[in-house]
Amino acid sequence: MWHNLLSENTFARLNRERKGRLVAVACLTVASAAVVGIVALVPAAVVVWGREASIRALESVHGKQTDETLAIAEYALQRARKLKTAQDAAATGKGVVSFADMLWQAVPSGVRLERVALQPSTQGSSLQGSIAGTAATRESLRAFEEALRALPSMREVRVPLDAYAARTDLEFTLSFLYALSER
């Protein structure tokens, strides 16, 4: 048996105070550990935030460099296209002059030309075109068609069959492909 000189009420009160102090010390220990843990994480968080900031800065610089590179490449591509267009126009211009000379020599009597349209073809080295006019007779239209086919650079001369429907004053529109490379 254990004897205590304190009364039971005093002993119970002291026991409660002791338990309260133990709980307070335990809570203070847990709170101190949490504070120490948070303080220990601050340097790691600062390092991570710094790395994120430097990565964003590098991405921004890289993005600007990429945008500048794309702008330079686009400018160079536009200049190359303009140069190619100018070269094509010069070649087409020479081809148009030689075509006009040949065309006027190929027009027989009895054929009157009203419209000649030319444009560069999708094949690049040729001109697509159409000629509209009036032929006095079927024979004069046929002679014009054969004269065009006889030209050395002429390709794919097409005269619709309905152009031959009338006997006189035949209105026609023919299409052709004229090669620029063969001159």
Print pLDDT tens along the chain (183 aa): 567 788 889 989 999 999 999 999 999 999 999 999 999 999 988 988 888 988 888 887 777 767 766 777 677 777 777 766 656 655 555 556 677 777 777 888 889 888 888 887 776 677 788 889 999 998 998 998 899 888 888 888 888 888 888 888 889 999 988 887 644
How far are the Cα atoms of 38, 41, 71, 90, 183 from residue 94, in angstroms, in the given order?
82, 78, 35, 6, 10
Domains (ranges, CATH) in the chain?
93-179 (3.30.70.60)
What is residue 117's predicted lDDT score, i.e. its pLDDT? Answer: 83
What is residue 39's predicted lDDT score, i.e. its pLDDT? Answer: 92
Name the burial class of residue 173, with classes exposed (0-12), middle (13-18) and buried (19+) by CB atoms within 10 angstroms of its CB. Answer: middle
At residue 59, what is the residue type? E
